Amino acid sequence: MTVIEFSDYLCPACRKAHEVTAKVKEIYRDRIRWVFKDLPLRMHKWADKAAEAAHCAGEQGKFWEYQDIFIWQPRRARPSRLKQYAGELGLQVDQFGECLDSEKYKSAVEGDVDTARRQGSILHRLL
């Protein structure tokens, strides 16, 4: 079975849902395929940049760990510290910074939002 999750890194409701999804992943780890889609909401000023940063961390094998910084420690979420967080995870900060500055994943994040819109999400008004 495949589960597709749409989420915003800075959304308190998404954070609560993430607690549940973490348990589901743990219980069914070998029986499900988990696909994460970015859904930065307009009300969260820099959620789109946080999503891009997670993808840049993913290039170095730390997508989920980078995502966890925002999900589990929301008070640490600061746009000026995206590169610092990469360093804390042991990533090559220069490579991460080049990726982030180039906006390499901007279109991928926007594509996920478009997919959510096409699916007729109840969140459509927030996008």
- The predicted-structure confidence for 15-72, as pLDDT tens digits, reads as follows 888 888 888 888 998 899 988 999 998 888 888 999 999 999 999 999 999 988 877 7
pTM of the entire predicted model: 0.84
How high is the pLDDT of residue 121? Answer: 54
Examine the pLDDT at 76 and tell me if it is beyond 70: no
Beta bridge partners of 4: 35
Residues making up the chain, counted from first to last: 127
Q: Percent of the chain at pLDDT above 90? A: 43
| 20 vs 122, higher pLDDT | 20
> Is 70 buried (19+), middle (13-18) or exposed (0-12) by CB count in 10 A?
buried
- Using CA of residue 81, residue 86, residue 89, residue 94, what is the dihedral sign? negative
How high is the pLDDT of residue 17? Answer: 86
pLDDT, averaged across the chain: 87
What span, in angstroms and rounded, lies between the C-alpha atoms of 48 and 64?
16
Examine the pLDDT at 87 and tell me if it is beyond 90: yes
